[in-house]
Each structure stands twice: as C-alpha cells, then as structure tokens.
Structure 1
Amino acid sequence: MDRISDHAAHQPALGSTNAAPLGTPAAPASLDRGSDDARASVIDWRRKMSDHIAYALLVYTALQIFVTVGALKAGHGSLLPYFALVMLVVAIIPACRRFEARWNRLDDEQAHDPALARYYRRDRLALWALAIGLPFALTGLFKALALAFE
C-alpha cells in the first residue's frame, strides 16, 4: 500500500471494542508498561516522522559537507564538485517534503494507529538510506564522471 491514508478504510468503527470514543485522551505509556496498545496509542506518527526528517537532514548536511569538501580537496580546480553540491541539495528537498506530506495527511486518529508501524518503519528506513547514501552516491558519480572526461 503506497498511500498511508488508505489504511483508514480498515479502521474499526467507533462503536467497536478496539476504538476509543472521540475526545478520550490516550493513557500515558508510563501507566501501563506491559501493553503495546497503550504505548502505541500515545505515539504520533506525524511527529515521529517529522523528527526523523529533521535529524536526517542534519546528518545529510554534515555528510554532504564532509564528502564534498573531500572531493574539492582532491579535485584539480573542476566545477564538478560544486555541481555535485547543488545536485545534492536539489535531490534531498523534494524527497523530504514528500515524506513529510505523506505523514502530515493523517488525521488525529490515524496518527496514533499502531497498525501504521510497519509503514513508518519502511519510510524511516528509506529516509535514512537517502540521507546517508545520497551524498556518497552522487559524489562518487561526479568523481567518476570527472575521471572519465579528464
């Protein structure tokens, strides 16, 4: 399932035993350490994904600077590392906006649904793979192009 919000069609009805009435505050996780449902009910997937995006952007930026500066020091005055730097910025912003938009579309009930945990893990893994892998992959590609056209 590509769209997380499609998952809402599989939610229990409000009158069922699995759904809490609207307006009922979720129990804090500290009250019931043994219950996965109690802990999951206080999780806000929107906030958690937003936090991961912020941290991933910090890691991405640090790696981008580290990898690009290394390429600039090894370069022979080429503009290619600067082009790589611009491409890295252009590549990550739409990806992060897409992750953020996907999770911000959730309503309050969906944002606390423990059934979305596997979608969250999938998106979190993809986000971190991009944040860590993209600086190395693109810089490596531009270094290979620079060697090929020397």
Structure 2
Amino acid sequence: MSDNVAYALLTYTGLQIFVTMHAIRHGSGSILPYFALVVLVAAIIPACRLFERRWDSIGDLAAGDPELAGAFRRDRIMLWACAIGLPFLLTGIFKALAALI
C-alpha cells in the first residue's frame, strides 16, 4: 500500500497544480485557487496516511491472505479515485466560490 500511496500523492499533487494553474490562468485573478492549492496539497497527506496505516500494521505473511484481497483492492480503488478526482472536484468548487464573490 505504501507504493500506491506514494504514487497517488505524486499524481494528486501534479494534477492539483495543473488544474489550479489552469484555473488561475483563465480566472479573474482571485486568490482562491492559490488557497486551494496550498490547503488541498497539505490536507491530502493525512488522508492518505489513513489508507497506509491500515496496511502498515499487517505483516507480509498476513498481507498475502486471500481474504484480504478484496479489502486491499477496495482501498486501492478509493485511494486512486480520490487522487484523480479530488483535484478536479475541489478546484471546481473553488472556481464556483470565486464566481460568486
């Protein structure tokens, strides 16, 4: 799970920077996209740690247990869905807030 968390963090951060910079370039010059970038990159690390903590305490032999395969797959899917989807969702929310102000 540690490898998945590390790659998901890299993916999330890259997407968040790309999406935020795109919003800044096409926005009204609001500070909200910058705020979104700082807060969301900092906030994702503790969230990813929750995924890793669950699997960190399981030994190598126990991690190979077929009964845990479904839970591992579910956690990986949730991790990657968040890493890919959150930058777009959250930047959209901040863009909507900036449009209201």
TM-score normalised by structure 2 residue count: 0.93
What does residue 110 of structure 1 align with?
62
Per-residue CA deviations over 1:73-108 (Å, capped at 9, x if unaligned) read 012221101111022113311111111111001133
**Matched residue SS, 1:75:** coil
Per-residue CA deviations over 1:104-130 (Å, capped at 9, x if unaligned) read 011333122121100001000000011
Higher helix residue share? 2
Q: CA offset at residue 58 of structure 1? A: 1.5
State the distance in 1 between where 2:33 and 2:76 align: 29
**Matched residue SS, 2:6:** helix
Structure 1: which 5+ residue stretches go unaligned? 1-48
Letter in 2 for 1:133: G
State the distance in 2 between where 1:121 and 1:80 align: 35
Per-residue CA deviations over 1:21-56 (Å, capped at 9, x if unaligned) read xxxxxxxxxxxxxxxxxxxxxxxxxxxx11111111
State the distance in 2 between where 1:76 and 1:144 align: 12
What does residue 87 of structure 1 align with?
39
Q: Look at both structures and tell me which one has the larger radius of gyration over its CA atoms.
A: 1
- Structure 1's consecutive aligned runs of 4 or more residues displaced over 2 angstroms after TM superposition are none
Structure 2: which 5+ residue stretches go unaligned? none
TM-score normalised by structure 1 residue count: 0.64
What does residue 54 of structure 1 align with?
6
**Which of 100, 107, 121 matches 2:73?**
121
**Which of 19, 22, 26 matches 1:70?**
22
State the distance in 1 between where 2:60 and 2:29 align: 53
CA contact (8 A) 2:4 2:76 kept: yes
What does residue 48 of structure 2 align with?
96
**Matched residue SS, 2:30:** coil
What does residue 93 of structure 2 align with?
141
State the distance in 1 between where 2:90 and 2:43 align: 10
Say what the alpha-carbon RMSD is for the aligned residues: 1.1
Higher RCO (CA < 8 A, seq sep 6+): 2
